[in-house]
Amino acid sequence: MKRIAFLCLISILSIPLFAQQFKVSGNPFVYNENIGGSGLQGVYLLNNLSGITISYASSAVSVKFYHYTSSWNDRVLIPASDITSYSSGGVTTYTISNLVDNRGYLVEENGTLRSGIWIFDYSRHLPSLISISPMEDENKCELLRLIISKTDDLFFYGRNGGRQSVVRRYTISYNTLEWDATSKRFKSKLDERKNLDIGTEYVVDAPLIDTKFTLRGDQIAEYFGITKSISSSTYQAVRVQAQIDYEIDERDSPNEINKEEGTSTSFSAPVRMRLFGYGNEPVTRFYTWFVYRAADLRNPISRSTDRDINYEFNQSGDFVVKLEVADASSLCVDTASVSFKITESKLEVPNYFSPGDSPGSNDEFRVAYKSLVRFKCTIFNRWGVKLYEWNDPAKGWDGRYKGSFVAPGVYFYVIDAMGSDGIHYKEGGDINILRSR
């Protein structure tokens, strides 16, 4: 039992030895990607090693420090002249100076190698950015390959001599456009791709304007404020993008049935629509409009090559309006589309009203309707005299003849109308005037 307790005590006392950390002065960039199994606490990069030191605190009886170049097996004892120390409370802090670029440093405590770090003088390993060039292929209307030439290999070595790379990360940026639905226009946008592990090429969305591509980095250079960059020559954009906006002629017709449908994409005919086409000019050179029935998207019922068009929908059904834009060569094309529903027709005729009584409340003879593309209503008295006639279903008869209200009684209407769905309405009947002034 005493032996077990003793071993537990030794184990507890040894925990701080494993928990010790190297500290490097000078605000280094600490790289620790994929260093698991290397035996390294981290890779430390500094812009200059002048005056830089490594410190390590330990309560071990025996502490030694080494440096190495390719594995822990080729370690070399650091001379005592490069190490200073001071002790306090049973812990000794060691400071190593005269550091060497591209070198690993190790600590040995009580005869056991514990851990190490790798040191770089980054000012000696700046990336060499040679060129960045856009390259088109069969996908040029959507994507663009950036061919990159650079020299930036940077290696370090772990416990067993395995060579590992410091992954340099870069930013690629270029100007393009993006659609702003609020202002209804294409606005400038800086497309910036950060923290990229880039090899010899990188694929980006093709820009919508002529632009240059800039490669900037790496992440370590940005950390030290000594970023390097290189830009391509100006690339002539070929990609196009289409956008559609539209306006509907509003009708002030409270007697139109389900008029609230017009707030979505379902409308009562006739629908007079103004369609506006937008493209990323000057790259976009051509505009072509197509109007289809949704059930037949191969055969347009209308085609136009204006940038903006007016179109009137008089037939019920589901429709698709498509805008196609193209560049000067017509090789790059983009489309945008909107869908609409034109409702079937309906007609309801009242049988009484009270002209001049309670203004605004059943004081006019008006039909309730939707999707009527043609309309005529004629009012007669009992002797066949025509009193009034109108051609807009949104309007009606106020009960007057030659400027005065007619007498209460029975009158007659004749309606001839055509619906968006082809229904021909030929209606006739009596209308009762209950009271007039």
- Domains held by the chain: number: 4
Q: Is residue 330 part of a domain?
A: yes
Q: Is residue 406 part of a domain?
A: yes
pLDDT of residue 11: 39
Tell me the per-residue pLDDT of 118-166, one tens digit each, with 9 for 90 and over: 999 999 999 999 999 999 999 999 999 999 999 999 999 999 999 999 9
Can you give the pTM of this predicted structure? 0.81
Query: How many whole angstroms separate alpha carbon 227 and alpha carbon 74?
Result: 35
Evaluate the CA torsion angle 18, 22, 27, 33 in order and state its sign. Answer: negative
pLDDT higher than threshold 60 for residue 18: no
Domain span at 406:
346-433
pLDDT of residue 20: 67
Mean pLDDT of 50-78: 96
With beta carbons less than 8 A apart as the criterion, state whether 134 and 90 touch.
no
Q: Please report which confidence band the pLDDT of residue 358 belongs to, taking 50, 70 and 90 as the band edges.
A: confident
388 and 324 in one domain?
Answer: no
Tell me the per-residue pLDDT of 25-39, one tens digit each, with 9 for 90 and over: 999 999 999 898 899
pLDDT of residue 17: 39
Tell me the per-residue pLDDT of 193-204, one tens digit each, with 9 for 90 and over: 999 999 999 999
337 and 358 in one domain?
Answer: no
pLDDT higher than threshold 50 for residue 13: no
354 and 337 in one domain?
Answer: no
Cα R_g (the chain), whole angstroms: 41
142 and 182 in one domain?
Answer: yes
203 and 106 in one domain?
Answer: no
Residues 6+ apart with CB under 8 A from 20: 56, 57, 58, 107, 109, 114
What is the strand order of the sheet 242-248 is part of? 242-248, 271-279, 308-313
Q: Please report which confidence band the pLDDT of residue 259 belongs to, taking 50, 70 and 90 as the band edges.
A: low
Tell me the per-residue pLDDT of 284-315, one tens digit each, with 9 for 90 and over: 999 999 999 999 999 999 999 999 999 999 99
pLDDT of residue 373: 96
pLDDT higher than threshold 50 for residue 16: no
38 and 81 in one domain?
Answer: yes
Q: Is residue 237 part of a domain?
A: no
- Largest Cα separation within the chain, whole Å, is 130
Proportion of the chain above pLDDT 70, given as a percent? 94
Mean pLDDT of 269-295: 97
Q: Please report which confidence band the pLDDT of residue 64 belongs to, taking 50, 70 and 90 as the band edges.
A: very high
DSSP 3-69: HHHHHHHHHHHHHHHHH---EESS-PEEE-TT-TTTTEEEEEEES--TT--EEEEE--S-EEEEEES
Mark which of 203, 231, 259 sits at the end of a domain: 231
DSSP 104-169: EEEEEETTEEEEEEEEEEGGGS--EEEEEEEE--TTTTTEEEEEEEEE---EEE-TT--EEE----
Mark which of 314, 342, 370 sits at the end of a domain: 342
Q: Please report which confidence band the pLDDT of residue 10 belongs to, taking 50, 70 and 90 as the band edges.
A: very low
* Bridge partner list, 170: 196, 217
Proportion of the chain above pLDDT 90, given as a percent? 87
Tell me the per-residue pLDDT of 208-250, one tens digit each, with 9 for 90 and over: 999 999 999 999 999 999 999 999 999 999 999 999 999 998 8
297 and 374 in one domain?
Answer: no
With beta carbons less than 8 A apart as the criterion, state whether 165 and 221 touch.
no
Q: Is residue 17 part of a domain?
A: yes
pLDDT higher than threshold 70 for residue 336: yes
Length of the chain: 437
pLDDT of residue 360: 67
pLDDT higher than threshold 90 for residue 260: no
pLDDT of residue 251: 81
pLDDT higher than threshold 80 for residue 77: yes
Q: How far apart are the first and last CA of the chain?
A: 118
Mark which of 342, 359, 387 sits at the end of a domain: 342
pLDDT higher than threshold 60 for residue 254: yes
CATH of the domain at 81: 2.60.40
Exposure of 196 by Cβ count < 10 A (0-12 exposed, 13-18 middle, 19+ buried)?
A: middle
pLDDT of residue 252: 80
Residue 324 Cα to chain centre, angstroms = 22
392 and 373 in one domain?
Answer: yes
